[in-house]
Each structure stands twice: as C-alpha cells, then as structure tokens.
Structure 1
Amino acid sequence: MGGEVKIWNPVEIAEQARNDYASQIFPSLLTIDPSLSLPQMTPLVINLCKDMFKAWSKFDDSCFKVEQISGGITNMLLKVTVKKGDSINEIITIRLYGPNTEYIIDRHRELQAIKYITAAGFGAKWLGIFGNGIVQSFINAHTLTPSDMRDPKLVAKIAKQLRRFHHVEIPGSKEPQLWNDIWKFYEKASVLKFDDGEKQKTYETVSFKELHEEIHDLQVLCDRLKSPVLFSHNDLLSGNIMINHEEDALYLIDYEYASYNYRGFDIGNHFAEYAGFECDYSLYPDMNEQYHFFRHYLQPDRPHEVPENDLKTLYVEANIYALASHLFWSLWGLIQAKMSPIDFDYLDYFFLRYKEYKRKKEKHISMALSYLSECRNE
C-alpha cells in the first residue's frame, strides 16, 4: 500500500511526552493480541500492568480483575481493577488498538493532542503507552447508543460539550486535515489487492475515477463555504460519547482522528453517525432536530436567541460536510476491508456509505449553491 507509515515506538513517544509536558507517562514494549479470548488475554494484561506500574509488580495475580467493557470495529477497551487493600481499589482502562490501524490513524498526531485535550477537562487521563495501545484512567460512565443521541436533553449536552471541545488549543499547525486525510485514504484505497477472490471481484466494481471526481468537486464547493477551522473530534459516534446520569456528566472520548478541521465536518459527521454501523439513514436528524443541536452549540446559555441566519449557515455547513463524511468513511471502509482482521463487513460498509452519499448529493449540493447565491446578493 502507498503512503508512509511512521514507526510506532512507545518508549520514544513516552520520552517525548515527558520532555514536552514534564509528565509521567509510563512506557512498555509489550503487546497484547486483541484476537485472544479474555481468559487468554488476562495474564498478558496483568503482566503489562506489572511492567508499566512498578508499585504493582509484586502484587499477586489474584489482585487483578480484567473485564472487557467495549469492543468496536477498530479498538477494544479493557477495565482493570487492582485490589490494593481490604477496601482500596484502583481502576484503569487499557485501549488495545486494532491490528494495522496505523495505516489509517496517525498515532503520533493522536498522542500529541491527548495531553492538551485531557488538560482541558475531556476524557480520561493518559497514564501510559505500550506496544499496541494506551493506558488511561477509568471513567465511571456508560457509552451511548445511536438511539440515545436523539434524546433532546442529551443532544443539548453533546452540543455544549462539542462547543467546549472546539475551543481546545493544540500547539502546532492549525491546517484543517479533512482533505489531506481523504486524499491519503483515496491513494491507499485505490491500489488494494485482496487474496479473497470474491472480495477482489467486489472491489473491482468500485470506480476510482468517479470517486476522484466526486472528492475534487465536493472539496471545491466546501471551500467556498468557508466553514471555521477548529480543533475537532472527527469521530463523534455514539460509542465515543459517555454519560454518568447520577453526576450529570457527559464525556467525549477517543481522539484517534482528532485534528484541526472544519466545524461543518465535525457536526455533519456526528449527524451521519445517528445511523449507527448498520447505516440506517432514516435516523439522520431532520431540520428541527439539527436546529435544536445548533442552538445549544452556538449559544448554550441562550439557545432560543440564536439568529435565524446563524442556524441556516450551520445547517448548510453540516449537511454539505456530511457528504464529505460519507466519502471519508467509505474510503476508510475499503482500506479496513483489506487490513483489519476484525469480523465486520467493511466492503459492505463502503457501499452503504457511498450509496448514501449519492442519494443525498443532489439535495445538499443544490442547497449549498442556493445559499452561496443568496450570500452574494445580500
């Protein structure tokens, strides 16, 4: 596959973190195979904990309890409870990266941002790094489902948190990454070879000439909208949002794709994720639902005072960039179909996302062109 892949070195990254932030990030070169069953994985996880945290190195294995608390289509999250006394427990989470995800995720970019994101009060504290994952503090909350994201009260909370997230300042380049990443995905996706004959046959039905034209034309149109560039999550699906109802606390987690990006993309991508991995786009929010989000995003303290023009602007942005979201994740699906050993039909996911792109393309592009024409005439 084309494209440069940076070598992942946990010790080197941890040392860089210490130098940059004067923080204590524990490194280990150990790896854990995420394809193992939990009973097979448990002794490896315990060994990793002892290797990373020297205070635990002499604890008996019976002091450790390992549980799987989630498993998406790229990562696995483990909860480790360490019993330190009769009533003293310490809990951490271990996130195992899916195999070959370095082809689609810039781990160096992710880890460079995590320190600043967590310092701003988001997600879990970064504690350590190992051969194929990171260790973080435990968040006492549960992840949302796609249907949860439609709850008006939660919509307001998510909008407010995303507004806060968009104001995080990360040192370095403020260049939006969307089109850089899409073109990198295109380059990698267009030169795949599958060992499975049926997969290869299905892959060969994809017109990369057509995809190239679609990406180019959409990029030109999106650039005309001049959507603000902010630090963005870029993967705000239900599994990356957690809630603790008792504490009335909502968390945005997992920053694998976080970067400076267009406001419209982050919000439009979030709306596209209402459909879940099953891609049920009947769940995509209508105008009233989107306006409810926009009001709480734009003016959390006075949501009903948001000017109509501001709502319309964000509506156009979010929906045209939702098209970009479909292109981004459809290409991602093609690459994953080749690289990932996880039991998920990534090829089908490509076609579902690209089909929805085509279905909504004319409507959303027409709306954006009409909006731009109105702006010129004002």
Structure 2
Amino acid sequence: MTAPVTVDLHLNPDDFQSGALELVRLVRPNWTDEVVLKVFSNGITNKMLGYHRNGDESDMVLIRINGNKTEIFLDRENEIKSFMKLHAAGCAPELYCIFNNGLCYEYIPGTTITRDEVRRPEMFSLITKQMVKLHKIEHTDTVEKQPNCFTLCKQFLDLSFSSRAPPGRRLNEFGSVEEIKLRAELTTLEQHLPLLSSPLVYCHNDLLLNNIIYNKRKETIHFIDYEYTGVNYQAFDIGNHFCEFAGVDELDYSFYPGRDLQFAWLTEYLQHWTTDGPVTSDDVEKLYIQVNKCALMSHLLWATWALVQAKYSNIDFDYVKYAKDRIAEYYSRRDEFLSL
C-alpha cells in the first residue's frame, strides 16, 4: 500500500480552484487535458469537490476541504490512520494525499441510497455484510479502549457550553438549563449502556444514508467518510444507522425501523457475524435490545454535535433545528427503549 503524500497547501473553501488543480495534477500527472469540476452538495460538515476528465466520472479525484473549526473536536491524525487501516482491509478507497486542511482520495462510483432503498432486504443484506466486515477489523493497536461515543459527546457539550471553549456564535436557544439536562441524560446512558455487554468493535459511527454508496452495476455497497471511525459498541453502530433511516435534510422518524424490520435486519447481520452455530431468536432479541438503547446515545451524540456545528460551521444548514429534532426524538423514545 502506497503511503499518501503530504502537501503544504491550504485551500480556501471560497477560492479553491488553483490549489485544487495543483493537487489533481500531483495525483494524476497524466491528465494533460482540461479537467471538469463537480461540486457535491450533500455534505453538512465539509466541502466536497470532484475532478474528472472527458466526462469519465468513474475515475474521479475527490478533494475534501475540512469544515471550519472541525479540528477543535476531530483528531485528524487518527482519521488518516483510520482511512489507511480501512483501505488495507478493503473497506475504504485509496488516500492519495493530505494537505493542510483536507484530504485528496479515490472516488467510489455509485449513488447514495434513499430512505426507501435502505429498508429493502436486498439492500440491507449488502449493508449488513459490509458492516460486519468493518466490525471484524482488528483494533488491538488502537489507543482507544473505551467506546468513543461518550468521549465525543462530552467533548461536544464542552465546546457548546463551556466558558473555556473557543469563541463562536452564541446558542441563544440553548441555555444553562438545557446543558444541565443534556449532561444528566448522558450520565444516565453512561451508567446504563455498559450493562448491555455489547462488544467493542471497530465502528464507522456515522452511517447516515449519504455515507452509503451503492453501485448498482456491481451490486456492491461501500461506506465513506471516516472522520468519526473508532472503537465503539457494536450496537451503537447499528442503532445509529437505524436512526439515520430518518434522513438528514428533512428528518422523518416514522422511517425508524419497527420491530419486524429490525428483526429481519439483525438476523441478516448476525448470520454474517456469527461463526459458532446458527442464529437463534434469543440472539436477535438480545441485539435488538442493545441496539435500541444505543439509538438513544446516537440521538444525544448528534444533537450535541449539531450544537457545535451551529456555533462554528459556515455551511448553510439549520443545525439548531437539527439538534432540537434529535433531542425531541431522544425524549420521545427514552422511556420506551430504556425499559426494554
């Protein structure tokens, strides 16, 4: 595996063309003719650019410009290690180069999946297989020994509310009372979730629909965007994915999978995961309980993430509304799921 090149270059998200072309020429020196730019509009953290030539999007060079201030809560060095680890395991594209505020890497042909597609057996069969492949990646070399969902959530809370946090836009809708409530809910989950004994595995942690690429011709699924990849509860990765059935731009939690769909999905997952005998109904029931409890942690994590984004991001997205929607869904499901 070829190590990525490091380039001392900073791309301005609003004036990137000359610098981006410099990166393209570096990784595709044989591209002597004019290249075409494609700007991807479905990112809500970073700016995504794609360059190709002669209308051939199958061989596209992707350039990701990191979102404003994301370095204050994301370990970019760890992300690069994760990217290369996943590539070595056949779970990520090739990373070509690293520049001061972003990455340049291989394009995975395909399309993002929809809220209807993700519910189809033929689609979640591919998703479960790919998720198990990721979950079985060896992680003994990582410094993480605890689930990173708790660490990240505390970090997001501190950045949103702490007086020691870097200055940013004021979150007028969220005062000290809301902070106290959120921290109390996090403490509840910190006490409750470890009792589930969900295995600690290598997780994607951010499997929203826009991060799942489907290649119809090859009948394959790939996951993209590895900023939050790390050791976490197996059930968190699944529960988080179930929450993302609701979409992003227009959240609709009526799409959260019901018991029957979850049992079909979890049975499929366990058939790929289990190596010591047939999958039983008790196995599925146990994972079902773990997953739905961890779905609560997903809502709390991404609600607090959205508060940080509302404070610092320059991307045109209503992060405050997103945070409110996730918090509302957390409270609407909390008693039901904790009582399982």
Q: Tell me if both proteins adopt one fold, taking TM over 0.5 as the criterion.
A: yes
Q: Contact 2:87 / 2:93 at 8 angstroms: preserved in 1?
A: yes
Distance 1:272 1:335, change over 3 A: same
SS in 1 for 2:272: coil
User: Which residue in 1 is equivalent to 2:315?
Assistant: 342
Deviations 1:280-339 (A, max 9, x none): 11110001111111111110399xx52011111111111000000011011111111101
CA distance in 2: counterparts of 1:273 and 1:54, whole angstroms: 35
For residue 55 of structure 1, report the CA deviation from its aligned partner. 3.3
Output the amino acid matched with 2:262.
Q
User: Which residue in 2 is equivalent to 1:354?
Assistant: 327
Q: Contact 1:268 / 1:322 at 8 angstroms: preserved in 2?
A: yes
User: Which residue in 2 is equivalent to 1:372?
Assistant: none
What pairs up with 1:117-266 in 2 under 5 angstroms?
Answer: 117-170=86-139, 171-175=141-145, 176-191=147-162, 200-204=171-175, 207-266=178-237
SS in 2 for 1:261: strand
Percent of aligned pairs sharing the same letter: 32
For residue 145 of structure 1, report the CA deviation from its aligned partner. 2.4
Deviations 1:155-212 (A, max 9, x none): 111011101110112422341212111112222222279876xx64312275211211
Q: Contact 1:143 / 1:241 at 8 angstroms: preserved in 2?
A: yes
Radius of gyration: which is bigger? Answer: 1
CA distance in 1: counterparts of 2:89 and 2:168, whole angstroms: 45
User: Which residue in 2 is equivalent to 1:25?
Assistant: 4
User: Which residue in 1 is equivalent to 2:80?
Assistant: 111
CA distance in 1: counterparts of 2:144 and 2:155, whole angstroms: 18
Q: Contact 1:81 / 1:91 at 8 angstroms: preserved in 2?
A: yes
Q: Contact 2:293 / 2:337 at 8 angstroms: preserved in 1?
A: yes
User: Equivalent of 1:42, from 14, 17, 33?
Assistant: 17
Q: Contact 1:70 / 1:78 at 8 angstroms: preserved in 2?
A: no
For residue 42 of structure 1, report the CA deviation from its aligned partner. 3.2
Distance 1:71 1:28, change over 3 A: farther
Distance 1:46 1:324, change over 3 A: same
User: Which residue in 2 is equivalent to 1:9?
Assistant: none
Distance 1:146 1:77, change over 3 A: farther
Are 1:95 and 2:64 an aligned pair? yes
Are 1:326 and 2:299 an aligned pair? yes
CA distance in 2: counterparts of 1:310 and 1:200, whole angstroms: 43
For residue 146 of structure 1, report the CA deviation from its aligned partner. 2.9
Deviations 1:37-71 (A, max 9, x none): xxx54333212323x44835xx65x5322212443
Give TM-score, length-normalised by structure 2. 0.90
In the alignment, structure 2 segments of 5+ residues that lack a partner are none
Q: Contact 2:208 / 2:241 at 8 angstroms: preserved in 1?
A: yes
For residue 77 of structure 1, report the CA deviation from its aligned partner. 2.4
User: Which residue in 2 is equivalent to 1:295?
Assistant: 267
Q: Contact 1:116 / 1:169 at 8 angstroms: preserved in 2?
A: no
Deviations 1:91-139 (A, max 9, x none): 3211222121112322111111111111111121111111221111121
SS in 2 for 1:272: helix
Distance 1:207 1:299, change over 3 A: same
Output the amino acid matched with 1:269.
N
SS in 2 for 1:357: helix
CA distance in 2: counterparts of 1:206 and 1:106, whole angstroms: 30
Output the amino acid matched with 2:188.
D
Q: Contact 1:123 / 1:253 at 8 angstroms: preserved in 2?
A: yes
User: Which residue in 2 is equivalent to 1:6?
Assistant: none
Q: Runs in 1 of length 4+ with deviation above 3 angstroms?
A: 40-44, 52-56, 192-196
CA distance in 1: counterparts of 2:150 and 2:330, whole angstroms: 16
Identify which range, 286-295 or 165-174, moves more after superposition: 165-174
Identify which range, 110-119 or 230-239, moves more after superposition: 110-119
Output the amino acid matched with 1:25.
P
In the alignment, structure 1 segments of 5+ residues that lack a partner are 1-20, 368-378
Distance 1:287 1:163, change over 3 A: same
CA distance in 1: counterparts of 2:180 and 2:37, whole angstroms: 48
Deviations 1:252-292 (A, max 9, x none): 11111000100111100000001111221111000111111
Q: Contact 1:42 / 1:66 at 8 angstroms: preserved in 2?
A: no
